[in-house]
Structure 1
Amino acid sequence: MKTQVTFTSKLWYVTILMMVAFAFNPMYGQSTAQKQKKIKGVVSNVHGPLEGVNIILKGANEGTVTNEKGEYTFPVALKTGDILLFSYLGYRSVEFKIKDDTSFIKTVLSDEVIEFMGDLNTDQRYKSKRKN
């Protein structure tokens, strides 16, 4: 008994073959790998590198801290458009948006000036309100 192959079954075979060819094409795997990248960098001020600067991915719970040389490697692969937030006590926070060609970020933090308004009251000595 001879099996007859119809046009519809041939079309199904060709469709399945094309889906397999596209599914295992290495070009698609490379395009997603290029969008996500590991970011490294250095954070400093005008005097030199800063240790303990917080680097956080904006809108997520991922982050890292700089070492004694001011260097860091972000623990998660980032994609284009992600925003890193650099913060350190006494310095202005800096936001950096990841671009297509970003792999190393050199950040210089500037001092944040804090002014206190008002005068000290030196007319009286301070008395403790505590009673023993």
Structure 2
Amino acid sequence: MKKIAFLQNSTSNKVLLLMGFIFLATILCNPLQAQNKSITVKGIVNSEIGPLDGVSIYLKNSKTGTVSKADGSFTFPSQLKAGDVLIFSYLGYDKQSVVITETSSYLDIFMKEAPIDVLSAVNTNKRYKSKRSKKN
């Protein structure tokens, strides 16, 4: 009788141990757990002429941002998560959006010049006429 109770107790312990291991593995391998990882993002912003000073770098749909230094380097002031989007903008250059991944701790951004559009033409048919009164 004691042997049967001991065997049943041993099997129940094994089942509980196995269930505990499966529960622990489920929690540790949860993909949502990986998304909570904070990432510090650093990098450099370049163009055809070299590093760009003063490029605006901000997190999409927030008020958090920074600007690049004279050598083009930057460090984003807050921790980011995988899936966040950084926007890079600079006058005369096209805006760029970068989606942060788990391996995005260092970014090397290359900005392309934006085409310049002329919105109107100079009117050369009229002669210039001064509005000042002539003094003798």
- Considering the TM-score relative to the shorter chain, is it more than 0.5? yes
CA 1:120–1:86: 2 relative to 1, 3 Å: same
The aligned amino acid for 1:97 is: V
Aligned residue among 64, 67, 75 for 2:66: 64
SS in 2 for 1:79: coil
Unaligned 5+ segments in structure 2 are: 1-23, 25-32
In the TM superposition, residue 40 of structure 1 has moved relative to its aligned partner by: 0.1
SS in 1 for 2:86: strand
The aligned amino acid for 1:106 is: D
Contact 2:37 2:81 (C-alpha < 8 Å) held by counterparts: yes
Greater CA radius of gyration, 1 or 2?
A: 2
The residue aligned with 1:50 is 52
Aligned residue among 37, 40, 43 for 1:41: 43
| Identity among equivalent pairs (%) | 40
SS in 1 for 2:66: strand
Task: For 1:73 and 1:44, locate their aligned partners in 2 and report how far apart those are by CA, in whole Å.
Answer: 15
The residue aligned with 2:101 is 99
Deviation by residue 1:87-106 (Cα, 9 ceiling, x = unmatched): 00000000000011110000
SS in 1 for 2:50: coil
SS in 1 for 2:109: strand
The residue aligned with 1:14 is none
In the TM superposition, residue 127 of structure 1 has moved relative to its aligned partner by: 4.5
Task: For 2:67 and 2:120, locate their aligned partners in 1 and report how far apart those are by CA, in whole Å.
Answer: 36
Task: For 2:101 and 2:132, locate their aligned partners in 1 and report how far apart those are by CA, in whole Å.
Answer: 59
The residue aligned with 2:82 is 80
The residue aligned with 2:9 is none
Task: For 1:127 and 1:62, locate their aligned partners in 2 and report how far apart those are by CA, in whole Å.
Answer: 52
The residue aligned with 2:28 is none
Task: For 1:74 and 1:128, locate their aligned partners in 2 and report how far apart those are by CA, in whole Å.
Answer: 54
Q: TM-score, normalised by structure 1?
A: 0.69
The residue aligned with 2:112 is 110
Q: How large is the Cα RMSD of the aligned pairs?
A: 2.9
The residue aligned with 2:13 is none
Unaligned 5+ segments in structure 1 are: 1-21, 23-30
Aligned residue pairs: how many?
A: 106
